[in-house]
Amino acid sequence: MYFKQITVGHMGNFAYLFGCEETKEAGIVDPAFNIEKLIETAVNDGYKIKYIFTTHGHFDHAGGHKTVAERTGAKIIAHKKEAAILKNKNIPVDIEVEDQDEIKVGKVTVKIIHTPGHTAGGICLLIDNQKLLTGDTLFVGDCGRTDLAGGSSAELYRSINEKLKVLRNDIEVYPGHSYGGSKSTIGHEKATNQTMKCKTLREFEELP
Ligand SMILES: [Zn+2]
């Protein structure tokens, strides 16, 4: 599988490109900054961007969607609960997804895992059952904040416990920001990430 993690902007953001080596179709995840560089990278690598995935609607993750769509003709994908927020920002959503939906990018399968808590319609993307793109839900050693609009510590606690901790330990974790590191695994985070080790919501809410 084609896969690239690309540092963009000035807030430690990661955008991602991934694709099918046979069909040369690609997905782009969270294009917000350095749009020309992202599109050029895909083109130079021989890939056509077919879909734009949105881990969530904050500007540092979705700010470049319209430009990428206009330049490539790619379709914008977001969770149905995030779609209204994007539309309010004048970002049209072509495909609204829900938990457990699957999108095919060539022969690569992207499974949608709804993980509300940082925002109501936040999602993680499980690519070919091996790479998990966690947006601002989970960082290396930490989790996303819950004090912004649509955030909820109870929901994030539930998402972490019911949606992420149940995944295989060898699944690779690729976060939406470089806070704490650029890459990990579910097993390593379960062992070391304080937000994954909490046994109660109260413990989770009392973390510094
Ligand atoms: Zn965010």
Q: How many whole angstroms from 56 Cα to the centroid of ligand 1? A: 7
Pairing of strands 13-19, 25-29: antiparallel
Distance between CA atoms of 80 and 107, rounded to whole angstroms?
24
Q: CA-CA distance, 102 to 119, in Å (whole number)?
A: 21
Count: domains in the chain: 1
Q: From first to last of the 208 residues of the chain, give the pLDDT tens digit.
A: 999 999 999 999 999 999 999 999 999 999 999 999 999 999 999 999 999 999 999 999 999 999 999 999 999 999 999 999 999 999 999 999 999 999 999 999 999 999 999 999 999 999 999 999 999 999 999 999 999 999 999 999 999 999 999 999 999 999 999 999 999 999 999 999 999 999 999 999 999 8
* Ligand 1 centre distance from Cα of residue 102 (Å): 23
Round to whole Å and give the CA distance between 206 and 160: 16
Nearest CA to 127 out of 7, 26, 8, 13 is that of 26
148 Cα to the center of ligand 1, angstroms: 9
What's the gap in Å between 54 CA and the centre of ligand 1? Answer: 11
Cβ atoms of 26 and 110 closer than 8 Å? no
The pLDDT assigned to 208 comes to 85
pTM: 0.97
Q: How far is the CA of 145 from the centre of ligand 1 (A)?
A: 8
- CATH number, position 120: 3.60.15.10
Strand blocks (E) in the chain: 2-8, 13-19, 25-29, 48-53, 75-79, 95-97, 102-105, 108-114, 123-127, 131-135, 138-139, 142-143, 172-175, 184-185
Q: Near ion ligand 1, which residues have CB within 5 Å?
A: 58, 136
Q: Say how far apart CA 188 and CA 92 lie, in whole Å.
A: 37
Parent domain of 192? 2-205
Distance 176 CA to ligand 1 centre (A): 8
Predicted local distance difference test score (pLDDT) of residue 143? 98
